[in-house]
Chains A and B, each alone.
Chain A
Amino acid sequence: MSTQTQERRERMATVTTPIVSARGVEQHFGPVHALGPVDLTIERGEFVSIVGPSGCGKSTLLEIVGALQDPVRGAVEVDGAPLDGPRRRTAIVFQESATLPWRTVLDNVAFALEVRGVGKKERRERARELVEVVGLGGFEDHYPAQLSGGMRQRVAMARAMSMEPDLILADEPFGALDEQTRMLMAEELLRVVATIGCGVLFITHSIQEAVLLSDRVLVMGRRPGTFVDEVAIDLPRPRAHAALSEPAATASQERIWAQIRSEAEVAMRSER
């Protein structure tokens, strides 16, 4: 871990304001009431997941926190300051890895640094380090079309890491991957987050994933989404998939599933 990262982690440990503080956030798309009102707080270094039925507004909330959407109502503060645009230290990981097909893996990872104006030599060095960290060593000169879905998401993760984020917003980043890759990527993410020590807002359909990864799981109800439950996950870190079979973990999963099932059933019935 670089000394910069170490210093930042120590600094973060002494600051106590939450990394994300959102109050009364609401979103409408024309006549459709899509989200909220919701309140959301994420402490520094905290891993928070949101699970909920399809279309309930989870992604909308993530985009609002990432300054990709303007909410109709509500205030969002990140790192103590009101949002006035996409932040340098907020990294967004999309569901379909947004890798640029005309650039090599190395140039993709270096992309965020390039946009920031970092010099060519420096950003390529940094990118090389990160490529090793995510386990893509040897693939630097490959093009995204030559990689599997999981590898492409690792490129996206390496790029996110290059921004030295204090907040990662991940919108179902493993949604397009098969089960085994998902499990590997989840463990990968745990490692990365432990290294950087950033806060994470993670959206997923998989209750298992949410319980494995998070400190807290927020359950969102059907559209317009509001939080119907909050489940603290007290499992010790560092975590592995084995932890999911512990009684505490199973209980959490069942509780979350019960909530989601009833929300989903109501949603299905009202759609008919």
Chain B
Amino acid sequence: MSAGTASRTPRRGAPAWVPPLVLAAVVVAAWTVTAALADSAVYPLPTEALASLRSDLGNSRFLESVADTARVLLLSYAAAIAIGSIAGMLLGLSAFWSAAVLPVVYALNSVPKIVLYPIFLLFLGIGDLSRGSFAFVSGVLPMFLIMVEATAGVSRLHLRLAASLGMSRWSLMRRIVVPSVLPSLAAAMRLCFGLTLIGLLLAEMFSGSSGLGYELLRNLSLARVENILGQVVLIGVLALVPTLALQQFELRIRNRYEEVSA
């Protein structure tokens, strides 16, 4: 630990990223040690997992699966964001209809949605449409809920200002509602990315013929643990990178649009 400098800076000791990194290193070390001690076929070392991941990534069929998942994910996420936010903003302006509709959507959201997936399969068959629309539903419901609440929270003073200027609903949306809810929108976009991804993976795990979830399950039936672990790491990275980017986006939006109380 460095000794305190002459100036009274609050920073003492290591910078912010050191403790999490140390924790991660400890976990990986524990994994390696216990795996080596167990010396079991079902408990591979981290290095073995990474090696099999590398070989998987060299396999064109596996890469196709990854691209497949990525493609469906992007489409369903974009649709969930767009539709959820617009619908949410439109409903949020009406306190009466929000009160009428929200309980139903909250109820729908609290059910483990994967259990409803067979209905999608029955009506949409096995393929992109069923897993894509399921992923869409997994993301659109939370986005909708967050945006309704955010819109309902738009300052009443700003609404009265808009009214006094004779602004139309469309003008109100564009010039006042959207800037007001932008911070919540950015946070919701980050949140719903993870939820859409989980929805897609679960759907693929349940019944798919391609995609990352399907690959995971295939390796499960073949008991190829290193591949499973390697793919889990890959999924983690695929989830983490956009999430961190969206976090940065959210931070920027908050700085620009969040009202600073005087």
Contact = CB atoms under 8 A, between A and B. Distances in A.
In-complex A–B contact (CB below 8 Å): yes
A101 B260 contact: yes
Given A92-B161, A100-B176, 11 more contacts: A66-B164, A85-B166, A86-B163, A96-B157, A100-B179, A101-B257, A102-B179, A102-B182, A115-B166, A115-B171, A115-B175
A102 B257 contact: yes
Contacts of A145: 259-260, 262
Interface string B221-262: 000000000000000000000000000000000001101101
A115 B165 CA distance: 8
Contacts of B161: 92, 94, 98
Contact of A92 (B164, B167, B256, B257): B164
A68 B164 contact: yes
A67 B162 CA distance: 12
A139 to B, nearest CB: 15
Interface in A93-120: 94, 96, 98, 100-102, 111-112, 114-115
A101 B259 CA distance: 6
A149 interface: yes
Interface of A: 66-68, 85-88, 90-92, 94, 96, 98, 100-102, 111-112, 114-115, 145, 149
30 contacts: A66-B164, A67-B163, A68-B160, A68-B164, A86-B165, A86-B166, A87-B166, A90-B164, A91-B164, A92-B160, A92-B161, A94-B157, A94-B161, A96-B157, A98-B158, A98-B160, A98-B161, A100-B158, A100-B176, A101-B257, A101-B259, A102-B182, A111-B165, A111-B175, A114-B175, A115-B167, A145-B259, A145-B260, A145-B262, A149-B262
- The B interface, classified by DSSP as helix, strand, loop or mixed, is helix
Interface string B189-224: 000000000000000000000000000000000000
Contacts, number: 48
A269 B165 CA distance: 41
Contacts of A87: 166
Interface footprint category on B: 10 to 19
Given A115-B171, A145-B260, A94 B160 contact: yes
Contacts of A101: 257, 259-260
Interface string B88-106: 0000000000000000000
B186 to A, nearest CB: 13
Given A68-B163, A115-B171, A98 B259 contact: no
Contact of B165 (A96, A102, A112, A149): A112
Of the listed residues A96, A98, A111, A114, the one surrounded by the most CB atoms of chain B closer than 10 A to its CB is A98
Contacts of B171: 115
The 10 closest A-B pairs by CB, nearest first: A98-B161, A145-B260, A92-B164, A101-B259, A86-B166, A102-B179, A102-B257, A115-B165, A98-B157, A86-B164
Contacts of B257: 101-102
Nearest to A90: B164
Contacts of B160: 68, 92, 94, 98
Contacts of A91: 164
B256 A102 contact: yes
Nearest to A176: B262
A145 B165 CA distance: 23
Interface string B39-72: 0000000000000000000000000000000000
Of the listed residues B161, B165, B262, the one surrounded by the most CB atoms of chain A closer than 10 A to its CB is B165
Contacts of A100: 158, 176, 179
A29 to B, nearest CB: 16
Contacts of A111: 165, 175
Of the listed residues A67, A102, A145, the one surrounded by the most CB atoms of chain B closer than 10 A to its CB is A102
Interface in B140-179: 157-158, 160-161, 163-167, 171, 175-176, 179
Contacts of A98: 157-158, 160-161
Nearest to B158: A98
A66 B257 CA distance: 29
A50 B163 CA distance: 23
Of the listed residues A85, A101, A114, the one surrounded by the most CB atoms of chain B closer than 10 A to its CB is A101
Contacts of A66: 164
B239 to A, nearest CB: 31
A102 B154 CA distance: 13
B183 to A, nearest CB: 10
Nearest to A117: B171
Nearest to B261: A145
A85 B163 CA distance: 9
A113 to B, nearest CB: 10
A4 B164 CA distance: 23
A152 B260 CA distance: 14
A251 B259 CA distance: 45
A92 B158 CA distance: 12
B41 to A, nearest CB: 59
